[in-house]
């Protein structure tokens, strides 16, 4: 069943089409990868999906509901959460307060503080940050801050999680751990749309991959198809 359906979405910045007529479909339970060279419009697409930017044209349907033009907090409440390419943890707050905020506000304030606290502790455990729960978020390593963002986003109980470059700047061990984390997220029932530059990772964790170039979708298919696609190799992967 399709969870997210995007039709002809376009975003113009002045004369520049950062994202141009992109169609996109994500089914429940999938892990879909979004790749492309720098400036291809991947993060802009995430900003459109999560409501940070309003599209110039096109429509976004999420769980059979038109969410085009909704505000970020409304989209979050619909069950679509995200992380950020340049980490945006609440630096002065502790790791557990970060996740607590997600649990309390992502659920439209329906959770009691006690439940929210339990949920936050569970998610910190899930992403492997229990040991640093009481540390201010700004003191965590980059890898851990990225995990913290994932936990904060998961705390809002999303059906779809947009992950923007979980692995950039991480060492090989951390990359392997991040891949395990994405697998675990899918296993607990959250669909994932992920932007990533680490090819080894994206090829092994995704069911399908979309390739953006100059704001346009130039290819879509299984990792196998993408790796052997003539166009993709030319514009992005290289010979």
Partner 1 sequence: MQTGKASWLRLRTPVLWLALLAAMGTLSLYASPYTVIMVTNILMYVILTVSWVLFSAPTGYISLATAAFFGVGIYTSATLGGQLPLPLIILTAGVASFVLAALVGALTLRLKGVYFAFFTFGLVELIKHLLLWYEVSVTGVRGRFVVSADNVTIYYIILGILVILLLTSYLIRRSRVGLALQAIGEGEDAAAHTGINVSAVKTFVFALSAVFAGAAGAAMATRWGYVDPYIAFDYLFSFTAVAMAVFGGLGRFEGPILGAVVFAFLRELLITRFPYVYMLVMGSVLVVTILYLPQGLVQLAQKSTWRRLRGHREPA
Report, in Å, the least distance between residue 203 CB and partner 1: 28
Q: Compute CA distances 98 → 92, 106, 149, 198, 225, whole Å.
A: 9, 12, 8, 27, 39
Q: Give all strands of the β-sheet with 191-195 in edge-to-edge order.
A: 80-82, 160-164, 191-195, 31-35, 208-213, 216-221
Q: Which is nearer to partner 1, 82 or 213 (CB)?
A: 82
Q: Which is nearer to partner 1, 86 or 173 (CB)?
A: 86
Q: Which is nearer to partner 1, 156 or 191 (CB)?
A: 156
Question: Which is it for strands 31-35 and 208-213: parallel, antiparallel or unpaired?
Answer: parallel
**Closest Cα to residue 215, out of 67, 13, 2, 52?**
13
94: which 2 tokens? 């502790």
Q: Which is nearer to partner 1, 35 or 89 (CB)?
A: 89
Radius of gyration of the chain (CA): 17
Per the listing, tokens 């700047």 go with: 169
Q: Which is nearer to partner 1, 112 or 171 (CB)?
A: 112
Which residues contact partner 1 by CB under 8 A?
50, 52, 71-73, 76-77, 81-82, 84, 88-93, 97, 100-102, 104-109, 152-153, 156
């Amino acid at each position: 069943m399709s969870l997210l359906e995007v039709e002809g979405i376009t975003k113009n910045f002045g004369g520049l089409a950062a994202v141009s007529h992109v169609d996109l479909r994500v089914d429940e339970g999938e892990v879909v990868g979004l790749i492309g060279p720098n400036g291809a419009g991947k993060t802009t697409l995430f900003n459109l999906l999560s409501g940070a930017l309003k599209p110039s044209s096109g429509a976004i349907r999420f769980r059979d509901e038109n969410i085009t033009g909704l505000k970020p907090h409304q989209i979050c409440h619909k069950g679509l959460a995200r992380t950020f390419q340049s980490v945006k943890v609440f630096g002065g707050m502790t790791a557990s307060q970060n996740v607590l905020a997600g649990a309390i506000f992502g659920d439209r304030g329906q959770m009691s503080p006690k439940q929210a606290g339990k949920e936050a502790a569970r998610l910190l455990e899930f992403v492997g940050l229990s040991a640093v729960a009481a540390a201010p978020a700004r003191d965590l390593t980059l890898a851990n801050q990225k995990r913290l963002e994932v936990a904060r986003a998961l705390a809002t109980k999303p059906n779809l999680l947009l992950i923007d470059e979980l692995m950039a700047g991480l060492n090989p061990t951390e990359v392997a751990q991040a891949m395990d984390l994405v697998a675990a997220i899918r296993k607990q029932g959250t669909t994932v749309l992920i932007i990533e530059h680490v090819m080894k990772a994206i090829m092994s964790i995704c069911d399908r991959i979309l390739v953006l170039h100059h704001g346009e979708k130039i290819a879509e298919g299984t990792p196998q198809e993408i790796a052997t696609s003539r166009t993709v190799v030319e514009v992005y992967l290289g010979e």
